[in-house]
Amino acid sequence: MKITEVIEELKKKYPGKKILLNNRQNCTEILCEIDPTSLHPDHSVAIAVIDKTIAHYHDTSEETYKVIKGVLSLSVDGKKYVLNNGQTMAIKPGLIHEATGDEAWVQITSTPGWKQKDHHAVE
């Protein structure tokens, strides 16, 4: 992933928004919180630039992935999906999911808003 270029593009498109890297040594996902839970607990919106996410699930939040640039391969509860630009998929609470792309840009909406304690990594 071209980390510096992605961060610069996110800063231009979403000035002043918080940008997070999943791992500084081996970054495979960059998040930009464009409408965070801290502003309202009922939902949150982030832009994720994804090469690969870790498998995880949420106890209470439903996530809707909308591809805004590129192609995203998504595994949800063991089923494989491919989402192209403009396509969306809702992921219900409790379903294990992970995604791969080649710097795929994805708008992720969480209802209720995303919280660390609701995010559970799966080995």
CATH classification at residue 76: 2.60.120.10
Beta-sheet strands, E only, within 53-122: 56-58, 62-69, 72-76, 79-83, 88-91, 97-111, 119-121
Reading the block at residue 69, the tokens are: 């640039």
Query: What pLDDT, in 10s, does the model give residues 96-110?
Result: 999 999 999 999 999
Q: What is the mean pLDDT of residues 50-54?
A: 94
Domain that holds residue 84: 3-121
Domain total for the chain?
1
Average pLDDT value over all residues in the chain: 95
Average pLDDT value for residue range 26-52: 94
DSSP 22-38: S-SSS--EEEEEEE-GG
AA identity, residue 29: E
| 112 upstream amide cis, omega within 30 of 0 | yes
Query: Model confidence at 26, in pLDDT bands (50, 70, 90)?
Result: confident
Question: Alpha-carbon Rg of the chain, whole angstroms?
Answer: 13
Closest CA relative to residue 92, chosen from 47, 54, 60, 53: 60
pLDDT in tens, 53-73: 999 999 999 999 999 999 999
Predicted local confidence at residue 72, as pLDDT = 98
pLDDT value at 12 more than 80: yes
